[in-house]
Amino acid sequence: MTDAQRSAAPPDHVCWSYDDPAAFDAAARGYLSRGLADGEQVWYVGPDGAESARARLGGLPGLDQGLRTGAVRIVATGSAYDKDEKLDPSAQVRAYAAATEAALAEGYTGLRVVAEATDLARTPQQRDLFARYEHLVDRYMWSRPFAAMCAYDRRQLGDRAVAELACMHPRTNAPGLLFTLSACGHRQDDCVVLAGELDPSNHELFATALERADLRPVDGELRLCAPGLRFIDHRCLLHLQGYAARRGVTAVLHTTLSAAPRLVELLGLPDVRVEVTR
């Protein structure tokens, strides 16, 4: 993929939640197979031992040869991530950036990772840090040939914990998740993309996602691009107002929802501006 093509397409950044390990294994093989077909180096990162991980990948085209040549790597979770509650989100992105550049230097077209990340998200403190990392790495993927499937076991984490992480991805299979907040690749500032529905059932999750994304204003504005936003509840606008007010900036929501400006006016939200797009 050329740089121009990459800038026009969203990153291949997927949250895969599962309660059936066999279904996850099949999804992981399919995801890595696409990378191998495109000339990428692929990694499987997980808590399994090497033999167990190899069994999970059984059926991956060219697995044995890839393991010999380095096109396929099996990496222990502890080697790729800090599993304690001290993960540095920016440092983690830099580590994958370095691995991506190393793959390019070896002649691959990029780096693709499947990470079984359940152990990295067991506590609220871990999820705070890992969700921030998810947003930062999502932004990095717009500029460089890095792709990742982040997998979480719903049986161990529960639906709510998985939703906290799934909503930070542009693509997910998490059941019942109504919205996503992901990086925007069409601007150089720290705008985000909102898609789906923000309603009474998920307004607290939206507030949590905003805090964890830790958006940076540019010229006094936080920009939220939301052409795919189908509904926004007044509670979510109130959360947006509070978020912007605490930072002394204006939140600018770009949306096709024609009723949103009137709702902002009725609520009296001085730090939220809605720009309706067609």
Q: What is the mean pLDDT of residues 12-41?
A: 97
For position 185, what pLDDT does the model report? 77
Q: Are 134 and 150 in contact (CB under 8 A)?
A: yes
For position 278, what pLDDT does the model report? 79
Tell me the C-alpha distance between 147 and 125, whole Å. Answer: 25
Q: Which comes out higher in pLDDT, residue 185 or 252?
A: 252
Q: Class of the 3-173 domain?
A: alpha beta
For position 170, what pLDDT does the model report? 95
The strand order across the sheet containing 41-46 reads 72-76, 41-46, 111-116, 146-153, 13-18, 171-172
Tell me the C-alpha distance between 136 and 167, whole Å. Answer: 14
Q: What is the mean pLDDT of residues 129-145?
A: 95
User: In 106-225, which ranges are continuous DSSP H helix?
Assistant: 124-141, 154-157, 159-166, 203-213
Lowest mean pLDDT among 10-24, 175-189, 203-217, 263-277: 175-189
Q: What is the mean pLDDT of residues 41-45?
A: 98
Lowest mean pLDDT among 24-33, 44-53, 129-138, 200-209: 44-53
Q: What is the mean pLDDT of residues 221-243?
A: 96
Lowest mean pLDDT among 98-112, 211-225, 238-252: 211-225
For position 188, what pLDDT does the model report? 52
For position 149, what pLDDT does the model report? 98
Lowest mean pLDDT among 104-108, 151-155, 184-188, 208-212: 184-188
Which CATH superfamily hosts domain 192-276?
STAS domain (3.30.750.24)
Q: What percent of the chain has pLDDT over 90?
A: 87
Q: What is the mean pLDDT of residues 169-185?
A: 94
Q: Give which of 234, 181, 254, 236 is closest to 212, Cα–Cα.
A: 181
For position 186, what pLDDT does the model report? 62
Q: Quick one: how far is CA 272 from the chain centroid?
A: 25
Q: Are 172 and 180 in contact (CB under 8 A)?
A: yes
Tens-place pLDDT, residues 138-175:
999 999 999 999 999 999 999 999 999 999 999 999 99
For position 10, what pLDDT does the model report? 66
pLDDT band of 121, cuts 50, 70, 90: very high
Q: Give which of 59, 34, 30, 16 is closest to 109, Cα–Cα.
A: 34
For position 1, what pLDDT does the model report? 44
Q: What is the mean pLDDT of residues 107-118?
A: 98
The domains spanning 3-173 and 192-276 adopt the same CATH topology: no
For position 174, what pLDDT does the model report? 97
- Domain spans, the chain: 3-173, 192-276
For position 189, what pLDDT does the model report? 60
Q: What is the mean pLDDT of residues 15-32?
A: 97
Tell me the C-alpha distance between 46 and 29, whole Å. Answer: 14
Q: Are 193 and 182 in contact (CB under 8 A)?
A: yes
